[in-house]
């Protein structure tokens, strides 16, 4: 199964960042892309004909709304699911984190991802083909210094690994793409400090959303005999485990 064998893709978190870049790139490859996100205005701009893209179909869905996931996304016939929706927990000290922010992070990054897979995978199994791509993070693979966000992405990592066991024999492939620091809006969800946000994109050339989208498409375009299980994607000058320059003195 390469991209030529697929027709319909679903990208969550498609209103910005990695999700938007992935939706655009898949559309350029001729797929019908169902773009799901909370922000209707952003989705409308993404799907607009002025973008010069293929078919992008917007769906306003909050991944914290389980009923909406199953009602809207579960009704689609999907060959490719790319789980990009996610938020970053605050860079406040753990013992000072707002419980609402903790819940929002876990509900979006973990529960939203799990339910999106559960909603579309029965159709994949019935058709005997499909590819699930979960966007993780190096925070889920290394101890960097953001416990709640790291825990949420570690859950995505184990979900991806165990899905390969659970879906063995169904014809469905599972890939996890775990980026390092990426130039997206996620910095704004982690801190309100404008200087701190700028610092996270400073010091070395960080990767872009387009870089991550290209990695996703590369994994999708492999022949069926090849499953790309995990891609860890970082900037050349970002070494996980080394001394970092995150606002709270964490490690990168």
**What are φ and ψ of residue 88, in 5° steps?**
-100, 135
Contacts of 164 (CB under 8 A, 6+ apart): 174, 227, 229
Residues contacting 222, CB < 8 A, separation 6+: 2, 228
Choose the catalytic residue: 6, 70, 149, 246.
149
70 labelled catalytic: no
- Three-state secondary structure of the chain: CCHHHCCEEEEECCCCHHHHHHHHHHHHCCCEEEEEECCHHHHHHHHCHHHCCCCEEEEECCCCCHHHHHHHHHHCCCCEEEECCCCCCCCCCHHHCCHHHHHHHHHHHHHHHHHHHHHHHHHHHHHCCEEEEEECCHHHCCCCCCHHHHHHHHHHHHHHHHHHHHCCCCCEEEEEEEECCEECCHHHHHCCCHHHHHHHCCCCCCEEHHHHHHHHHHHHCCCCCCCCCEEEECCCCCCCCCECCCCCCCEC
Q: Are 200 and 246 in contact (CB under 8 A)?
A: yes
Per-residue tokens: 69? 């996931």
Question: Which residues are identified as catalytic?
Answer: 149
């Amino acid at each position: 199964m390469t991209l030529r064998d697929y027709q319909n893709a679903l990208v969550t978190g498609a209103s910005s960042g990695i999700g938007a870049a992935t939706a655009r790139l898949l559309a350029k490859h001729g797929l019908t892309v169902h773009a799901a996100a909370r922000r209707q205005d952003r989705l409308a701009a993404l799907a607009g004909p002025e973008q010069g893209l293929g078919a992008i179909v917007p769906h306003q869905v909050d991944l914290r709304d389980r009923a909406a996931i199953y009602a809207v996304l579960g009704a689609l016939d999907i060959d490719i699911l790319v789980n990009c929706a996610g938020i970053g927990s605050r860079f406040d000290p753990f013992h000072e984190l707002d419980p609402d922010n903790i819940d929002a992070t876990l509900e979006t990054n973990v529960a939203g991802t799990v339910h999106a897979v559960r909603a579309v995978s029965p159709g994949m199994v019935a058709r005997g083909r499909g590819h699930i791509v979960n966007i993780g993070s190096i925070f889920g693979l290394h101890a960097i210094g953001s416990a709640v966000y790291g825990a949420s992405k570690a859950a995505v990592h184990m979900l991806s690994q165990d899905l390969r066991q659970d879906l063995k024999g169904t014809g469905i492939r599972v890939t996890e793409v775990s980026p390092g620091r990426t130039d997206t809006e996620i910095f704004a969800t982690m801190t309100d400090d404008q200087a701190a946000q700028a610092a996270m994109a400073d010091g070395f050339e960080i990767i872009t959303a387009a870089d991550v989208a290209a990695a996703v498409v590369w994994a999708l375009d492999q022949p069926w005999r090849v499953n790309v299980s995990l891609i860890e994607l970082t900037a050349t000058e970002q070494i996980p485990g080394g001394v970092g320059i995150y606002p709270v003195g964490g490690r990168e």
